[in-house]
Structure 1
Amino acid sequence: MTIRTNAAIAASLAAITWAAVPPSAHARTDAARVVACPQVFGHGGYPSGSNPWDRDKIRQPNNVRALDDQKAWGADGVEGDVQLTRHGTKAVMWHNTTTNGLTGTRKNITALWWTAGSDNLRDRRVARGPYQGEQVYTLRQWLDHVRSRGLVALLEVKPEARGALSDPTYATAAWKEISDPIVERQAAQRILVYSKDSWIQAELARRHPGLLKGSEARWTDGVGWEEPPPAWSGNVNRWQQVLNEAPKSVMTNYPREYRAWLAGKCG
């Protein structure tokens, strides 16, 4: 038998083997190679560069209108920012160290009472941007609305909270303000937590070990945010790079555009 004949037989056997496998099995094999679609966490966008607070348009999903928008844009979850008012007496949703972006005299969030005084935090309103007129919400109020919209809650405890959380006089009550709303809801609602402050992060790991963000909500944008917002298309190369690594979830300032870009690229 010649080498050529052997080659012909091998080719015939390969064709028979392929034909013998049902088309559905081939489809399953091809589908197995497709990257799983990540969950999409919406972030609000905060300017980079010098004096970013002067250009901040308060787009963070810390209020109910912003949460509703994130849901409409296709987000599966949202990142919110937890602050503590004076002496840790109320956990609230706000991203800036000060009341910059809110009505009233500018003051540190940690210097204000929630309801007491004429310059209290509860009575202030967002002063600019797409959510102008919105109020500041408590952590409990925010978590309840996140749940009502079917979103996953990702809580960043801001470094400014460390003052009350580490003060022996206020720490017990301050931690209850953050931990109790989480514990009360975690059985019925997916909640993740983290902090960029290493001490707070260590405490979160001790108090809420099963809820740590870990590798969830990996940052996927490649272009720094600015006002007005830069074109979403500048992120595409980074989006593809991260998607190729098959993350379970990603975080982006462009949930609507990311969701549209993702179509057909994962399964």
Structure 2
Amino acid sequence: MLIRTKAAFVTSVAAIALAGTPPVAHSQATAAGAASCPLVFGHGGYPSGPNPWERDQIRQPNNARAVNAQKDWGADGVEGDVQLTRHGTKAVMWHNTTTNGLTGTRKNITDLWWTAGSDNLRDRRIARGPYAGEQVHTLRQWLDHVRSAGLIALLEVKPEARAVLSDPAYATAAWKEISDPIKERQASQRILVYSQDSWIQAELAKRHPGLLKGPEARWTDSVSWAEPPPAWNGNVSRWREVLAQAPKSVMTNFTKEYRAWLTDACG
């Protein structure tokens, strides 16, 4: 496995700077120049086991306060979740299939309008957890806030979006809702995209080939998330194993603890 040298790291940081994202001090190479710390993407944590939505405390960095918290903990980037409202009329940042965790009657995100109706998505608020009171953001709002925080944006297009993205009646407008905000900002902001749905992933490869996550933001945790949050130190063996493979970047639910550990592990 090749080790990233200081020169290679400087080239990487320069590429980020050219894309409009300021270099992050946490990701500097060691003084000896032997190897650099990977970039760290904050994920937020989602419970494992049966019916995880019942325990979900809405920690995902899909809103401004959650993004700011990840920044404070030392993240270089954040992973956000892209959903589509009814008929693909608005790309929004939310992780659950339904409005579970939001105020109002529980409904599927894909059944709601963004602004129309008394139960619209825009007027709902997070109902529990550390970010209670925060609103749902549109993709454009979220990308702008992530850029203002000096972070890299990693977008996961959720599988729920496939139904409308593949529907001839709505696909063109729905894809514009996702693609246009990315295209408008990609010259001044580093943005990566992916999906766990194979069809959406293939479409992203056609529409945004230069922005695919690929091997970047490699998952590094071994401890399954739970509520209340589990101890972080059960991850150390896996963290060490992944770091030894010199990844460009990693994704973790334990941003604050991983950053502190990483400082000792690679300078």
Q: TM-score, normalised by structure 2?
A: 0.88
Rounded to whole Å, the distance in 2 between the matches of 1:69 and 1:58 is 13
Query: Is 1:31 paired with 2:32?
Result: yes
Matched AA of 1:119 = D
Separation of aligned partners in 2, 1:230 and 1:253? 10
Partner of 1:116: 116
Q: Secondary structure at the match of 1:69?
A: helix
What is the aligned partner in structure 2 of residue 163 from structure 1?
163
Contact 1:217 1:248 in 2 (8 A): yes
Shift of 1:265: 2.1
SS of the aligned residue for 1:265 comes to helix
Instruction: State the secondary structure of the residue aligned to 2:164.
Output: helix
Distance 2:143 2:220 in 1: 24
The alignment status of 1:149 with 2:116, answered yes or no, reads: no
Deviations 1:135-181 (A, max 9, x none): 00000000000000000000000000001100000000000000000
Query: Map of 1:126-137 to 2, 5 A cutoff?
Result: 126-137=126-137
Q: 1:97 maps to what in 2?
A: 97
Deviation, 1:263, is 1.2
Give distance in 1, aligned partners of 2:212 and 2:101.
30
Counterpart for residue 229 of structure 2 = 229
- The residue aligned with 1:26 is none
Unpaired segments ≥5 residues, structure 2:
1-30
State the alpha-carbon separation in 2 of the partners of residues 232 and 264 from structure 1.
15
Q: Is 2:39 the counterpart of 1:44?
A: no
Cα distance in 1 for residues equivalent to 2:264 and 2:154? 27
Tell me which structure has the larger Cα radius of gyration: 1
Q: Which residue identity lines up with residue 109 of structure 1 in the other structure?
A: I
Report the alpha carbon displacement of residue 44 of structure 1 after superposing the two structures with TM: 0.8
Q: C-alpha deviations, 1:40-73, integer Å up to 9, x for none?
A: 0000100000000000000000000000000000
Contact 1:35 1:244 survives alignment (8 Å): no
**SS of equivalent residue, structure 1 residue 153:** strand
Q: Is the 8 A contact 1:35 1:266 kept in 2?
A: yes
- The reply to whether residue 207 of structure 1 matches residue 188 of structure 2 is no
Once the two structures are TM-superposed, the CA of residue 266 in structure 1 deviates from its matched residue by 1.8
- Code of the residue aligned with 2:210 in structure 1: it is G
SS state of the match for residue 40, structure 2?
Answer: strand
Residue identity opposite 2:218 in structure 1: R
| Cα distance in 2 for residues equivalent to 1:158 and 1:69 | 23
Q: 1:77 maps to what in 2?
A: 77
Aligned identity (percent) is 82
One-letter amino acid of the counterpart of residue 186, structure 2: Q
How many angstroms apart in 1 are the aligned matches of 2:114 and 2:141? 14
Which 4+ residue blocks in structure 1 deviate beyond 2 angstroms? none
Is the contact made by 1:222 and 1:235 (CA closer than 8 Å) also made in structure 2? Answer: yes
Q: Does the 8 Å CA contact 1:35/1:265 hold for their aligned counterparts?
A: no
Please tell me whether the aligned partners of residues 152 and 191 of structure 1 are also in contact (alpha carbons under 8 angstroms): yes
Q: Which residue of 1 aligns with 2:61?
A: 61
- What residue number does 2:184 align with? 184
Distance across 2 between alignment mates of 1:193 and 1:115: 26
Amino acid in structure 1 at the alignment position of 2:194: Y
Comparing 129-138 and 256-265, the one that deviates more: 256-265
Q: Please report how far the alpha carbon of residue 36 of structure 1 lies from its aligned counterpart in structure 2 after TM superposition.
A: 1.9
Quick check: 1:59–1:130 contact (8 Å CA) kept in 2?
Answer: yes
In 1, Cα distance between equivalents of 2:45 and 2:264: 26
Supply the AA of the counterpart residue of 1:78: V
CA contact (8 A) 1:89 1:177 kept: yes
Cα distance in 2 for partners of 1:228, 1:72 equals 21
Aligned 8 A contact 1:220 1:239 in 2: yes
Task: Give 3-state SS (helix, strand or coil) of 1:180's partner.
Answer: helix
1:22-50 superposed Cα distances (whole Å, 9 cap, x missing partner): xxxxxxxx935x33210000001000000
C-alpha distance in 1 between matches for 2:32 and 2:151: 27
Aligned equivalent of 1:8: none
Which residue identity is paired with 2:247? Answer: P
Report deviation, 1:264: 3.3
CA distance in 2, matches of 1:191, 1:212: 9
* Equivalent AA in structure 2 for residue 186 of structure 1: Q
TM-score by length of 1: 0.88
